[in-house]
Amino acid sequence: MFTNKLTKILYMVVLMVVLPLTAYAQNPAPCRDRDKAITYLENVHGEELVFRGISTRGHITLIHFNSKTGEWTASIIRTQNPTLLCGVDNGGTGEIMANGDGSTLKKKKKTW
């Protein structure tokens, strides 16, 4: 009797811990209107687009970077809705690596 009750309590504890983690893992990246999100990154955080590429998974990957603070934001644009920009990562310490010829990216590039 005691073992049966203890087993039920243990199952409940496991479910209370595992289910929220599963839901968190399945939650997609937060997405916002693409143009508004890019404007926000540029005007509020002072980040400029330093990289844009097409992923092997089919989405567009963007990296915005603030050269004064080192802050950066990685985001994607999914093919299912190209009007949304979805944040996937960000950080407070970063640096632009030089090109093979020692030069860095051009300034004042149009973001989009």
pLDDT at 97: 75
pLDDT at 28: 58
Q: Side chain identity at 112, as an amino acid letter?
A: W
Three-state secondary structure call for residue 45: coil
- Residue 6: phi and psi, rounded to 5, are -65, -40
pLDDT at 78: 93
pLDDT at 83: 94
Q: Which residues contact 41 (CB under 8 A, 6 or more apart)?
A: 47, 64, 73
Tell how far CA 18 is from the center of its chain.
Answer: 24
**pLDDT, tens digit, for every residue of 17-39?**
544 544 444 555 689 999 999 99
Q: Across residues 62-79, what is the average pLDDT?
A: 93
